[in-house]
Structures are given as structure tokens and as C-alpha cells.
Structure 1
């Protein structure tokens, strides 16, 4: 019973057992969140020039393995390598500044597994093995002997490995709500790295001339640093959610190239190693750098389902396009002055030369993951 004092000094009953209103209950707010995704992506392959050729036994030496001849077959190159699907992972974490989740920051990192393409051939299975090139001394297509009946036995081995990874940090700010979805603006920093390592070596074992083993190595890398701008939206209905995101990064591609080569020759009992291989000669061996403007647009779509108060399953698709990427195949100059091939001496035009032929890289694929709110 609640009593009140009257004007006459007495008391009277105003109300019986009136409930006392409790203060509002604090809303649980978890500012931290994290997401881990498995990636299944495909990436544009590296376009290689024709690097190894063959021809039927009986083809004249001057025509065997020469590009443009009807008897020539390309065994390695003249195609894109490392374009198959590959696995990877992505980790994203964020922090909200307010309970309404209208302002926040996030950081992410992704990496795809290294993928490689190898090649091996020998004259036991392929009697004619040649390394095609443009002879700049004559202006005509030509071929270096790696194995030919009556001249010597030989083999050719090659491999290219490709890598792709990236990271970024974003600030997110709500800018409105349309058709039941929240739309936010994004601004931040974007980093990407693409790299390829290509090597090719052949061995010619000739009773008349000795053993010659030229080796070429081409390493290319592109590092992108840029300003990331975009929009993102989220729509929810019960346990289901749908998220979309569109971004474009503007910045600089820092491209590097490392070209090296050597030739090991054994004549009689004497073995020597000389700087310069076949396509990696003294005229283009070295470390080179180049910086160019690049653009990286990216779109993604994710569907989610709430399986527990703090857990959500996520499935999505991503598409990323990166301009002006340096690949290993773009470092190869197929024009060669044969006199530059060890042991020399060099006479005439200087080729091969350092080249920076770039291409655009398309990466796309599926993601499957889980998101957790702390």
C-alpha cells in the first residue's frame, strides 16, 4: 500500500501496489566482427610465346621447328598458362563505432595458392626439339637446336609459377536507406600483388660439339597501391541477408622484372659457365622497374543465413579486374641475334632487349565462409 499525506496532516491511500517502472535495459552491442572465407577463384593466365617446337623426322634442319612452317608443331608456349581454378582464403575483421552500426572500419587479406605449369621433353620420345626465335640478323624465323637426329640428343624442361594476393582497409559510413536496405559509402586503401616466375632450360649433347645447357629465368611482379572508393548495401529478412558491394581502386602499379641466364658448356674435359642463356642474353639481363597508373574495379555479392545469435553462414561471388599487370611472358623478346648466344662473340644488332608488355588480369570466383560477431 502506498500512502500520501493530506492537507490536514493525515494520510490516505492513493493506489494499491503500483508497480515501479524499471530503467531501460541496456542493448547488447558487439562492436567487433570477423569473417573467414574459403575461395575458389580463376585468374587470367600468362600468355607465353612459342618456346619449344618440333617437326616430323625427316624435316630438313633449316625448316624443322621454325614458326610458320607447315611441319612445325608448338610443344610449349603460344598459349596461356596457369589459368586453372585455384583455392585460397580470405580473412576480414571489422569494428563498429556505434550500436546502430552506421559507422565502422574493416581490414581484409586474401591469398590464392601458388599454381604452376611444367613441361618436359627429350629426344627419346621427340627426336626433334627446337627453340624458335626471330633471327634479327636475317629478319627471318629460325630455331635453336635442342635435339636433332644426326647432330645430338637433348631435352627441354620449363616451369612457370604464378601467385596472387591482396589486402585492404576501409572506413564505412551509412548514407541512407532505400527499399529496406542500408547503403553505405566506402573509402580506404587497397594493395594487390601478382607475380610469375618462369624458367626454361635445354641440354644438347653432341658428339661433335660437346654439351651445351642454356638456362633462361624471367621473374615479373606487380604491386598495386591505391585509393579504394565504393558503395555497399545490405538487405535483411528474418535469418536471411543479401549484401552487395561495388568498388574501384585508383593508384600506381609498381612493376619489377628480373631477367637472368647462363650457359654451361662442356667441351672435352673442360666445363665453363658463361653469363647469358638463349632468350635471356647479356643484352637484356638485369633488374628493371617501371611505375604506371592502374585501375582496379571490383564487385561482390554475398548471401547469408543466421544459424545462431552470433553466427552467420556466407556464400558469395567476386569479380576483380586489374589493368596494366606485368606477367613473365610479357618480359620475353623473341628476337635474337644468334651471335649473342654464348660463347659468341657478338656481331650485329643487339637483341633480345628488355621489354615491358603488360596485360589486364581478371580474377573471379566463389567464396564460402562464416561470420562471427563477438
Structure 2
């Protein structure tokens, strides 16, 4: 019995020594497979593993490598390939997601903006009519060139938007980003010039008669009493500039789409101005004004709105091959600092003697005010991208922005006084200047290029 037990013990010891020799000393030599002959990695092995035992199983039961080959005793398998920590398939950038399987962590995009905004809102400020018809707003045969109930179109405004950002981690969960955008200062204007064959008027509401009226810049009654000749013009300008910085926080993602939460700071400035000028030479003998008297005047209304606040939003994207579709919903809350300024001047010239007055036609000589109001600025956008190269997209999109509380230049125009006081050489009696707050919107097309790096 003792001899039999001794032989059995030696046999078991020999088997254990053979197994240890096969495994070698790790990590100086790689471990053998947990199951003899299968070369399959077992739980607890290192992230890199070389099977030292040939795999004798049929090919349909053998493990393939990411390149399509089979794992054998010379193949190193990186376990990170089996469980990646992040998906780079959706790319990363503000409002233009990648349409390629790039692992780029940064982005830079530049866009051309073609936007248009809400119409100018102001009282009627320039009217024309036919021969013998006084250019009084609302009367039959009178055409309103600027202002009034229908407003005045500002036209298409070009602009720019530059965006950039960078993910702070390889998993693309947190990023910092920024934008600078704006619209170039553009002007829209209406003008009329007449040798009295047509009538030109600067309309007002006559506070003395409680009716619509007008200062006649040009008028001709058919030759009975002579004529008034002159010209008048109205011009408006709008300028917008904005910037923001955001922290992007991953909400969710899959291989072909992702959604990010945006939080950060927004600055925006919206400037609006409206000016009117006229020259009128009176040779009408049917009134009390000496023939040859020249009236000149100009008015300027300006408003500036500066916004500081925080924002929150959601940026999402979907990719399919070379195409990508991104959507942005963002709203900013904060303080709007409104500033209003107006100025005006008039002169009356007769026999080369110029007499200035203390104010303008629509505005006092100088006026200014400011105030702060709570405001919000929503922004909505959609953008389609096409990957022309692995790291370069062409994009086309649409953006809508809304300002809840702003001061606009046209809202300052009162236009309620007796126009007879214009030709009397005195100060016009008019109501106090208006400090109305209004809303404003803009929308348009965006064309751009996005580079990922």
C-alpha cells in the first residue's frame, strides 16, 4: 500500500512540474491557455495575451481577429478592441457633427450668414402723391415709402459665424467650445426728389386738429400759386454681434448619433438706427412764407441693446455615411441694457440769411435714456453636412433667433405735432420721447465649412 501511494504521489508531482514548465515564469514568458489546446483568453489574464498552444479546433470554432485572420500562437490580442471605452463614430464639433469615423477631438468651422429680420416699425415718415395732391398718409392716392402699418423691409443682411471647440477627454464626454457671430452693418433707404411734378411729404399726426397731416417738402397745384420743390430721404441701419462659450456634456450616444447638453455664457449686441433728412424750397405764393425760403432738417434715432446672461441647450446629431444632420435648441436668460439716443436740427434760409432752430423735425435737439430689463434670447437651428474629405464637411443650415425685450429706433419716433410750427421758425411742441420696449427676430441661411483635427 505504501509503495502504491508513493508511486501515485510521484506521478502527480511529475504532472504538476510539466504544467509549470509549460507556463514558464510570467510576465517574462506568456501563460499557457487555461484549457489545453484552445488558446482562448480566460478572465483575469493581462490585456495583451499570446496563446502558446496551437489551436487545433476547426476554423468555424476559432476566434477571428479584427483584421479577419485567426488567433494562433503568434497573435497578440488587445482586449481594448473587445470593449472600447468610447465611440468616435459621431465625431465632435459644435453644431456640425462629423460624418466620418474620425477620432478627431477638435473642430473649427466658418460660415457665411444670409439673414433677414423683422421689418422696421415706425410711423409713416415719407410719402409721395401725384400733382395737386398733398402727401398726407392714409389719403387716397398717397403712397407711403417708409414706415406705417406695413413697416419697411430691411432687406437681406450678410454676416459670419466662427465656431471652435475641443474635447477634454478621449471618451468625448466633456468639451469646451466657443462661437463668434455677427451681421455686417447694412442700410436700407427710401428717397424722393421732385421738381413739384409730384408731391413729397413728411407725415405727422396734427395735435391741433387731431388729424393726419404732413409737412409738404414738394407740392404743385397746377400752376395757380406756384410750386414747392425739394427732396427727402429716410435711411435705417442694423448691426448685430454675438459671442458665447459653452461646456458640452454628453447626454447619450450610439454609433451613429449623439446628444450633448450645452451650458455657458452669452453676450449679444443689437444696434438699430433711423435717420431722415430733407431740403425744401418754397416758391408757393398761396401761403404766408416768403418765396425762395429754403428749409433744411435732419433727425437721427439710435438704440443699442447689450445682453449678458447664461444659456442652456441641447445639441444633437445623426450621421449616415458621408451625411450628417445636426439640430440645436438653445435659450439664453439675462440682463438687457437698453440705450436710446436721438438728435435733430433744422435751419431756415432766406436771402442768404440762415436761421437755426433748437430741434429737428421728428426729434428734439438731443435726447438720451437707458434702462435694464430681464430678457431671453432663444436660438433654433438645423444643419445638414456632407463630408467632402475625412476631416472636412460642407454644411448648409437654417437659424432662427428671437430677442424678447429690445429698444428699436423706429419706436422712438413720435410724429405727433402741428406741422405749421415747422415753418414758423420756432420750437416744435411735441409729446415726450417714447421709451417703448419691443421684441425682434431674425432668421436665415448658413453656408459653411467644418474642419476636424
Displacement of 1:275: 3.1
Question: What CA distance in whole angstroms lies between the structure 2 residues aligned with 1:12 and 1:233?
Answer: 54
Q: Is the 8 A contact 2:262 2:312 kept in 1?
A: yes
Name 1:316's counterpart in structure 2. Answer: 397
Q: Is the 8 A contact 2:204 2:419 kept in 1?
A: no
Among candidates 325, 330, 333, match of residue 414 of structure 2: 333
Name 1:187's counterpart in structure 2. Answer: 263
Displacement of 1:148: 2.3
Matches within 5 A, 1:248-267: 248-267=331-350
Question: What CA distance in whole angstroms lies between the structure 2 residues aligned with 1:306 and 1:71?
Answer: 57
Displacement of 1:264: 2.1
Q: Is the 8 A contact 1:299 1:318 kept in 2?
A: yes
Among candidates 77, 95, 111, match of residue 147 of structure 2: 77
Displacement of 1:83: 3.4
Is 1:46 matched with 2:127? no
Deviations 1:40-87 (A, max 9, x none): 22211212321122333334xxxx223343243323332433432332
Displacement of 1:268: 1.6
How many residue pairs end up in the alignment? 359
Structure with the higher fraction of residues in strand conformation:
1
Runs of 5+ unmatched residues, structure 2: 1-15, 25-51, 55-72, 82-87, 89-101, 221-225, 284-289
Q: Secondary structure at the match of 2:121?
A: strand
Among candidates 327, 338, 354, match of residue 433 of structure 2: 354
- Which of 202-211 and 87-96 deviates more? 202-211
Name 1:3's counterpart in structure 2. Answer: none
Is 1:155 matched with 2:231? yes
Is 1:307 matched with 2:377? no
Name 1:367's counterpart in structure 2. Answer: 446
Name 2:194's counterpart in structure 1. Answer: 123
In the superposition, relative to structure 1, how do residues 223 and 303 fare at CA in structure 2: closer, same or farther (>3 Å)?
A: same
Deviations 1:207-257 (A, max 9, x none): 525211011111122222221111121222333322211111112222212
Larger CA Rg, structure 1 vs 2: 2
Matches within 5 A, 1:3-152: 19=74, 21=76, 30-59=104-133, 64-78=134-148, 79-124=150-195, 126-149=197-220, 150-152=226-228
Question: What CA distance in whole angstroms lies between the structure 2 residues aligned with 1:100 and 1:13?
Answer: 36
Displacement of 1:195: 1.7
Deviations 1:257-276 (A, max 9, x none): 21010112212222233331
Q: Is the 8 A contact 2:298 2:345 kept in 1?
A: yes
Runs of 5+ unmatched residues, structure 1: 1-5
What TM-score do the two structures reach when normalised by structure 2?
0.71
Is 1:294 matched with 2:375? yes
In the superposition, relative to structure 1, how do residues 178 and 323 fare at CA in structure 2: closer, same or farther (>3 Å)?
A: farther
- Backbone CA RMSD of aligned residues: 3.1
What TM-score do the two structures reach when normalised by structure 1?
0.85
Question: What CA distance in whole angstroms lies between the structure 1 residues aligned with 2:348 and 2:321?
Answer: 73
Deviations 1:281-336 (A, max 9, x none): 24xx3122122222211111122233333222222221222212322211100112
Name 1:225's counterpart in structure 2. Answer: 308
Matches within 5 A, 1:202-213: 202-207=278-283, 208=290, 210-213=293-296
Structure with the higher fraction of residues in helix conformation:
2
Question: What CA distance in whole angstroms lies between the structure 1 residues aligned with 2:170 and 2:209?
Answer: 75
Displacement of 1:100: 1.7
Q: Is the 8 A contact 2:159 2:183 kept in 1?
A: yes
Q: Is the 8 A contact 2:125 2:234 kept in 1?
A: no
Question: What CA distance in whole angstroms lies between the structure 2 residues aligned with 1:219 and 1:12?
Answer: 89
